């Protein structure tokens, strides 16, 4: 059975009904696929991947190219869940880069 796509409006409706919204992190295709199949409504690709997956001492070392790579990998799972990205805001150009990530993938939410 194919579940409907979760949208920002879906999440808002869940919150307004007092429902708890599970939001879990995925940095790659297999994890995004597993979380989506488990019914997680919100999947986040965060810059914490720098420490968890890339071995950096903190999130500020994560480049936009690395974020794009991981967001696109998660997006290839074609999740029904709302896929979001969360990046550090060291410089204002990150905002532009987040829009580029959204444009180049099926990302439907971002943390500004």
DSSP letter string, 67-93:
HHHHHHHHHTT--SSEEEEE---SSTH
- Tens place of pLDDT per residue across the chain (112 aa): 568 899 999 999 999 999 999 999 999 999 999 999 999 999 999 989 999 999 999 988 888 889 889 999 999 999 899 999 887 766 346 666 666 777 777 666 655 5
pLDDT for position 18? 98
So what CATH class is 10-111? alpha beta
Cβ(69)–Cβ(53) under 8 Å?
no
Helix (H, G, I), strand (E, B) or coil at 48: coil
Q: Which of 5, 17, 16 is nearest to 42 (CA)?
A: 5
Cβ(88)–Cβ(60) under 8 Å?
yes
């Amino acid at each position: 059975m194919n579940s409907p796509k979760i949208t920002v409006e879906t999440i808002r409706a869940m919150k307004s009904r007092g429902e708890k919204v599970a939001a879990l992190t995925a940095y790659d295709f297999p994890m995004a696929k597993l979380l989506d199949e488990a019914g997680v409504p919100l999947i986040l690709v965060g810059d914490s991947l720098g420490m968890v997956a890339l071995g950096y001492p903190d999130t500020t070392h994560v480049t936009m190219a690395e974020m794009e790579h991981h967001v696109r990998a998660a997006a290839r799972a074609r999740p029904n869940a709302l896929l979001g990205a969360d990046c550090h805001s060291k410089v204002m150009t990150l905002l532009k880069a987040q829009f580029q990530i959204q444009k180049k993938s099926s990302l439907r939410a971002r943390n500004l």
